[in-house]
A and B are shown apart, each in its own frame.
Chain A
Amino acid sequence: MGQETLIDGIRTKLGPDVEGVSSSFGDVVLTIRAGAVRPVMAALREPPFDYQVLLDLTCVDFAAGEGRFELVYHLYSLSRNVRLRLKASLPAADPAVGTLVGLWKNADWLEREVFDMFGVRFEGHPDLRRILTYEGFEGHALRKSYPWRLGQPRIPQKDEV
C-alpha cells in the first residue's frame, strides 16, 4: 500500500476525526480531533493500517502564542515499514485527552511523562502521577510558562518502604 492510498484509506475509515493531512520535511502528519484520539489509535493499530508500535508520545506547548497544547504521537508499522505522526490540539486551560493504556503497554509511562512535564490529564489512566520528577514538585517543567532556572521547595524525606 503506497503512502497516498494509505492516507486516503485512513481518511475514508475515520472520516471527520481526521482534521487534516500535511507534510513536514518529508514526514506525513495527520491532525486528528482530540476527542477521538483513542478510537483513531485503536483503528490504526489494526489491519489494514497495522501500526503496531507506539514509538513515541510527546507534547508541545503553544499556550502562550496560540492558546493550545499539541500532543504528538509517533506510530510505526513493522509490516509496512512506515512511520506516521499524529497531532491533536488541546485547549491551554485544563488540557485533557483519552488514555491509550490498554492499547499499548508503553502508553502508561509515556502518558505519565507528558502529565509530569506538561500537566496534560489522560482520562482513564490507571495511575497518573509524576514519573521523572517527584511527588511534591511544583509546576510542570516543560511548559513555556515555567522558567528555565527555578528553584523548588524542599520536601520532607519520603517514607521508608
Chain B
Amino acid sequence: METRIQREARPESMLLNMGPSHPAMHGTVRIMLELDAEKILNAEVEIGYLHRGFEKTCENKTYFNLLIYTDRLNYVSPQINNLGYAMTMEKMLGIAVPERAQLIRVLMSELSRVSDHLTCLAAMAMENGAFTVFLYMMKAREFLWDVIELTAGARMTTSYIRIGGVRADLHPDWRSSVATAVRETRKVLKDVSGLLDKNSIFLGRTRGVAAMSKEDALSYGWTGPCLRSTGIPYDVRKASPYLIYDRLSFEVPVGEFGDNYDRYSVRMREMEQSLRLLEQVAALIPDAPPLPAGPLIEPAEAIRRSRRQRPGERIRLSPNLEGYEKERLPGLTALDKPDALLGTGYGIAVPAKEDTYTTMEGLISHFLFFMSGKGIRPPKGDVYFSVEGGNGEVGFYIVSDGTDRPYRLHLRAPCFHVVAALEQLIKGRLIADVVPTFGSMNMIGGELDR
C-alpha cells in the first residue's frame, strides 16, 4: 500500500523511515520523512501500533471492571486516568465523594503528574545525549513511586482511585514517604536545571526549534503543558476546578514561544508547583482515626459463630486488604444510596469484606454488586468530564443506556491532538530536530492509540 508521502514525494528526494521501532521513538510510532540531504521536505506520522481496542473492550465490560483498562492509557500517570473515569461516573451517578478521599485523590494526582513530567523530560534529555539527567530523574521517580507503592501495593497499574472514592486508606508511614519524595525531587530538579537550563548543546537543540504559534496550538486542540508553552494559561484545574483544587494555591506556568525549550521549561516549573501542592495537601490530610481496639477473630471462626448469632468482634482481614477495614470505608468512599443493591438503586463501591465474609446480607450485597446485569447502573444519558492529566485535558465521554455496561465510552486523549501537529512542526527542519521535538511532546502510546 502506497502511503501519502510516497505518492507526493519528488523523484530526486530520499525517503527515510523513523520507527516504529527506533531508539528515539519511545512508544511505537512511525515517522516517514522525505529528505533533501538532512532537510525534511515532507513528513508523515503513522500511529496505531499500540491500538488494542480500548473503547470496544469497555463496551463489553461492566463499569466496575473496566477501571483497570484506564490504568493502561497513560501508563506513566495511571492514577489521573483512574480519576478522570471515576469522576465522569460520579457526575453521572450524582454522588459526592468524602473529603478525605478527595484529598487523597489530589495527592495521588500530583504524584502522578510529577512522575509523568519526570519521565517525559528524562527521555527527552537522554535522546539529546544527557544521560545523567535521565538517571537523576528516574531516581526521583522511584521516590514518588515508593509513595504510590506503599499506598496501592502496585507501582504502575494501581487501579487505586475507584468510582465513589479510593480503594483503601494511606499507609501509616505515608507522611515521611511523601516528605522524602518531595525533598528528593526538589534536589533533582535543581540539579537538572543546573545541567540543562544554560547548557549550550541542549539550548542549541531546543531553543527556537519547532516553535508553535498560539493560533495553531488552539487549532490543533492542544491542551496541557504543550498549550501552556505557547503562552496560553489554560489548565483544567484552574478553568473548571474539580476535587479541592480551588482551595489550594498554585500557579500555572506558561512559556513564550512554544518551542522545545518552552515545553521543557513549562514542565520543569509545573513540577515545582505540583510539589507545592503535595505539601499543601499533605498538611490538609488528617491522621487516620485509630481503629477500635480489641481482639480480632479469624474469618473462619466468625463464620462458625455466625451460625448461632452475629459476631460482635472485629474480623482479621488478609494483610493485602490493609487500609480497607470496614470502619475506614465511610471516609474513603461514597456510601451506597439507600436500598442501593436490594432495591431499585445502584451500588457504587464494593461492600465491606468483613460483611461479605460473615453475614448473609453482606454476601448477597457482594453478589449483587458483581453479578452480570447488577452493580453500577447509571441512569440513561451521556456525559463528558475532564481532568488535567500529565499531557493535557483527559476527557471521558460516556453514553449510558441504563445497563451495567457503557453503551459507548470514548477517551479524549490529549496527546492525540499534540502528535497530530508533529508533521507540521518538523517540516522544513533537520532530521536531528525530530528527536527533541518528539521528545518534548510526551507521546504516550497507550492513550494515543487506545
List the interface of chain A (C-beta within 8 A of B).
Answer: 24-27, 29, 52-56, 58, 60-61, 72, 74, 78, 81, 83, 85, 104-106, 108-110, 113, 117, 127, 130-136, 141-142, 146, 148, 158-161
* A105 surroundings in chain B (CB, below 8 A): 216, 219-220, 420-421, 424
**A106 in contact with B219 (CB, 8 Å):** yes
Q: Which residues of B contact A142 (CB under 8 A)?
A: 55-56, 408
Q: Is B5 an interface residue (CB 8 A)?
A: yes
Contacting pair B240 A81 (CB below 8 A): yes
Residues of chain B from 42 to 87 with CB closer than 8 A to chain A in the complex: 47-48, 51, 53, 55-57, 59-60
Residues of B within 8 A of A113 (CB): 416
Chain A residues near B339 (CB-CB < 8 A): none
Contact yes or no, B420 A108, CB < 8 A: yes
Listed by A's residue number, 17 A-B pairs whose Cβ atoms lie within 8 Å are: A24-B381, A25-B92, A27-B382, A53-B218, A58-B397, A108-B420, A113-B416, A130-B48, A131-B47, A131-B48, A132-B48, A132-B51, A132-B450, A142-B408, A148-B57, A161-B6, A161-B16
Chain A residues positioned under 8 Å from B450 (CB to CB):
132
**In the complex, chain B residues whose CB is within 8 Å of the CB of A110:** 416
Residues of B within 8 A of A85 (CB): 384
Which residue in A60, A81, A104, A127 is a CB contact (below 8 Å) of B221?
A104
Is B3's beta carbon under 8 Å from chain A? yes
A53–B221 CB distance below 8 A: yes
Closest B residue to A65 using CB positions: B401
Contact present for A161 and B218 (CB under 8 Å) = no
CB-CB < 8 A to B198: which residues of A?
none
Question: What's the Cα separation between A85 and B410 when bound, in Å?
Answer: 14
Q: Within the complex, what minimum Cβ distance (angstroms) separates B100 from chain A?
A: 25
Q: Is B393 engaged at the interface, CB distance under 8 Å to the other chain?
A: yes
Contacts of B234 in A (CB 8 A): 78
CB contacts (< 8 Å) of A148 on chain B: these are: 56-57, 59-60
Question: Are A60 and B407 neighbours in the complex by a CB distance under 8 Å?
Answer: yes
CA distance A29 to B399 in the complex (A): 13
Cβ contact within 8 Å between B399 and A60: yes
Complex Cα gap A135–B4 (Å):
12
A110 to B421, CA, bound (A): 12
The residue that A60 contacts in the complex, of B57, B408, B417, with Cβ under 8 A, is B408
Say yes or no: A159 contacts B1, CB within 8 Å: yes
Question: Residues of A contacting B51 with CB < 8 Å?
Answer: 132-133
Tell whether, in the assembled complex, residue A56 and residue B410 are in contact, meaning their CB atoms are under 8 Å apart: yes
- In the complex, whether B173 has a CB less than 8 A from a CB of chain A is no
